[in-house]
Structure 1
C-alpha cells in the first residue's frame, strides 16, 4: 500500500483543514485529537510523508522521537495526569484509521478509564484551552 496525500492529516499539514495546534516546526505538527480518549489527548504528526512506522524514513523517525518525548512531558505537566500513554498504529488491522504516521500522546488519570479510540468529538473551546496549556509547557 502506498501513501495517499489526500489523507486528512496531509490536508491539515497543508493548512486546508483547521486544527487546534499545540506546536509546529519544520519537522512536525502537534495538535489536539478532536476525538480524545482522555483530557489532553494530542497527536504528534511528522511532516515527512509516510503511511506509518513501517514505511517511514529512519531519519524522520529519529528527528520526531525527541518531540514525542517533549510533548508527553508537557501534556502530563499541563493536565496533572498520573501517567502518559504513547500509542502508534500501523495499518487497519492494528487500528490505524488515518494513514499518515502519527503518535498519540494520551494522558492517563488514576481510576479513570480511557474512552474509545475515535469515540466522541470534544468541545472546541476545551480543545483550544488545552492546546494553549500544553503549548505553554513546551
Structure 2
C-alpha cells in the first residue's frame, strides 16, 4: 500500500476507530494523505442553512492533534440515502448539485497530496476508490491526473 486516506464521520466513536487505523498505518510506515469527513453537515432544502447535526470541532481537533490534513467534507445527502441502485450515478442526478463541487474539490485535493507526498513511479499506480460511489465519478474527474 502506497498511502492511505482516512474517512470518518464526525462522531466521537467513529474517530476512535479512525485513530486505531491511523496508528496501524503509522506502525507500517504508510503515509496518510489526509482525512475525508463524511456526513459532515446537512443543508436544509427549505432554508439553505448548514446544520452540523453531529456537532462541531471533533474532526478538527483530531486533525490538529495528529497533524493530518482535511481533504474534504461530504454533506449528508438524502439523494444518497434514498438512492436507487438501478438509476444513473447519484453524483450526476443529485438534486443538490453541491455533491459535484464537493467531490471535485476532494479529487483535486487528493491529486495534490499524491503529487506532494508520493514518489513519481507510485503516482501512476495509485488507485482511488471514493466511498461506495459508481465508477462514473471517475469520468467527472477526467482533468485530474489520477491514473486508473
Normalising by structure 2, we get a TM-score of 0.31
Which has a greater percent of helix? 2
Normalising by structure 1, we get a TM-score of 0.33
Higher relative contact order (CA 8 A, sep 6+): 1
The structure with the larger Rg is 2
Which has a greater percent of strand? 1
